Amino acid sequence: MADEAKEQQGEEPKVLVSDMPRAIYKAKNWHVDDGVASDGSGRKPNHTPVRRVFTAEYKLAFLAEYDGCTEVGEKGALLRREGLYGSMVGDWKRQHRQGLLRAAVGRNDGGRGGPSLPEMNKLRNENHRLRVKLAQAEAIIEVQGKVHALLEEISKGAHYEDLTTPSSTPASTSSPP
């Protein structure tokens, strides 16, 4: 009798294991999974959840809007509207601070196969090492050019002196003994 009174008041009665068959027929929201999609197409329903992927542009736009919220409860309303969690906002802010979150200038064909953070650090270090090596090579080439020009001047001067000064070794006219 108490269960019927609760039903009339709109409350769900407590379901006992012994009352299971009866509870199924009295349930207000029940679903039978017969392996057919709800649209009647005969396909099996897709029960695997789809992971959402957010672009860098979306993240940056959301962070700008989130940071612009000034009223009490406005940030929470924005999170509910977009279906996001506060932890995601914290992760996105950290990514933005580290420089990992940038809007793409053009089309990105790379997809998810981009380099990892350790690989990026390795590439940055190699780039720095190669720039230093290039600067050294350029300095060496510059010095070589100056040495070449100096040797040319010395050579021209020596050649000019040879032409203007008479031979210091006179021809020997004496006969051998």
Q: Where are the domains of the chain?
A: 1-28, 56-97, 117-162
Q: What's this model's pTM, rounded to 2 decimal places? A: 0.38
The string of pLDDT tens digits covering residues 55-86 is 888 999 999 999 998 899 999 999 999 999 99
pLDDT at 168: 55
Q: How far apart are CA 112 and CA 177, in angstroms?
A: 97
Least Cα distance to 89 among 51, 112, 49, 60 occurs for: 60
Cα angle 164-149-138, degrees, rounded to a multiple of 5: 175
User: Which residues in the chain land under pLDDT 50?
Assistant: 17, 20, 22-25, 107-110
